[in-house]
Structure 1
């Protein structure tokens, strides 16, 4: 009762999985990945060991197909399983056991594999695969767009409940401490993919980097706008303050809202953060 897509970006070396299911907290079961090694989606009557065992095999140099062969050959329950694997070279493979409930199947292509079970039809897998192939952007954007297309094509025949995206890359985690670049989950929601996409955009706002074209100088109309917004949000006692007070209270706002990663030198501000400030409701 799940559909997923596993992908690889040869330029950034990112590996990732996006998944949706009529299964609460699906992100705790299906996606597994390790930077420089590979990514695994284990589903249907999921064998959670396929995740860590699959990564261990690829770390030893096995290809995606070799990994699936080894995982399934000694598994008595393999005909109830489904798994998709992409290795760090972009090789992709998928497996669907004979006892998985219809519609069930998968499609592997260049740098990706899409699979699903208990689907309305094969069109869900085809929509994910076709969309991933033709979509540009970051790996996360391509995975989410493909997952959304799969839902639009029919999705899980039992309905919607949870979704997740997991992307890894070397030193991609918070402060570069690990490879967990994007790890977002919607554990229970009437429209989990749309909610996941909304949360992803927030994640990018908070943890993305400032684009050069979005650097604003805090002067004239921009200064007035920031001052008015800080006053509206209760961070200024009045809307006529000196530059030092404005800078201090803007810094307070940035830190309260966790925008340290987009904090620029004094006298400059990220346009995306200003847009967020303007949209923020007062309590």
Structure 2
């Protein structure tokens, strides 16, 4: 009762899943992924064992299609299931059981598999596929664009409720301690895809590395703006320096990942600061 797209980025070695459903907390059910191994989306009376079991099979060197075959053969209720698999090298496969509610089906292409059930029409899956194929940007951005295109084409015939985005890469998680590069969920919202995109943009603001071209020297107009906003927000007073106030702001707002050497500032932090009330 869901539509999803799984994808692979060969350049960055990322695997990901984006999903939306008229279902509470779909991110707790559908997406599974492991860096260097692959990704799986399991839906339609979802058999959540497909996630860990499928990743285990992929880690043993099975292809996406082999994993699809093995999982469905072991499941006596396979005709109720729908799932997609992408393996370590980006090969994709999808399966839709004959008892899935209409409209139901899937499509695969280079580095992706798109699938959905209880959809308004096939147009949702085709829109996801075409958008993923034609779009540029990071894997996360392409998956989100595809998900939004699927909704615009009709989406889940029952409406919207929750959405999720999971992207993994080796040492991509916070501090480099795990592979959860992006792991975002919207569990209950009238426009979950729009909200997912909003929090993805926040995630990038907080955790993406600073772009070289966005490093500003704190002087001239930049210094004037920074001084005004730090004072307005209550960080700068006669008892501290501009650098001390900036450091306090960065650490309070969780911008440690965008902290620069003394005397320099990330442009995106200054832009965010300007928008704060």
| 1:170-208 residue CA offsets vs partner (Å, 9 max, x unmatched) | 000011000010000000000000000000000000001
The equivalent of 2:69 in structure 1 is 69
| Alpha-carbon distance in 1 for matches of 2:226, 2:11 | 38
1:16 aligns to what SS in structure 2?
Answer: strand
| Alpha-carbon distance in 1 for matches of 2:60, 2:234 | 57
Matches within 5 A, 1:28-107: 28-107=28-107
The equivalent of 1:213 in structure 2 is 213
| Alpha-carbon distance in 1 for matches of 2:169, 2:190 | 31
| Alpha-carbon distance in 1 for matches of 2:212, 2:54 | 41
The equivalent of 1:253 in structure 2 is 249
2:128 counterpart of 1:128: yes
2:102 counterpart of 1:111: no
| Alpha-carbon distance in 2 for matches of 1:204, 1:157 | 31
| Alpha-carbon distance in 1 for matches of 2:16, 2:232 | 41
2:267 counterpart of 1:271: yes
Structure 1 unpaired stretches of 5+: none
TM-score by length of 2: 0.99
Q: CA deviation at 1:234?
A: 1.0
Q: CA deviation at 1:83?
A: 0.4
Q: CA deviation at 1:236?
A: 1.9
State the aligned residue count.
277
Structure 2 unpaired stretches of 5+: none
2:93 aligns to what SS in structure 1?
Answer: strand
TM-score by length of 1: 0.97
Q: CA deviation at 1:16?
A: 0.3
2:241 aligns to what SS in structure 1?
Answer: helix
The equivalent of 2:186 in structure 1 is 186
| Alpha-carbon distance in 1 for matches of 2:69, 2:24 | 29
| Alpha-carbon distance in 1 for matches of 2:88, 2:140 | 16
**CA RMSD between the two structures:** 0.9
Q: Following superposition, which runs of at least 4 residues in structure 1 exceed 2 angstroms of deviation? A: none
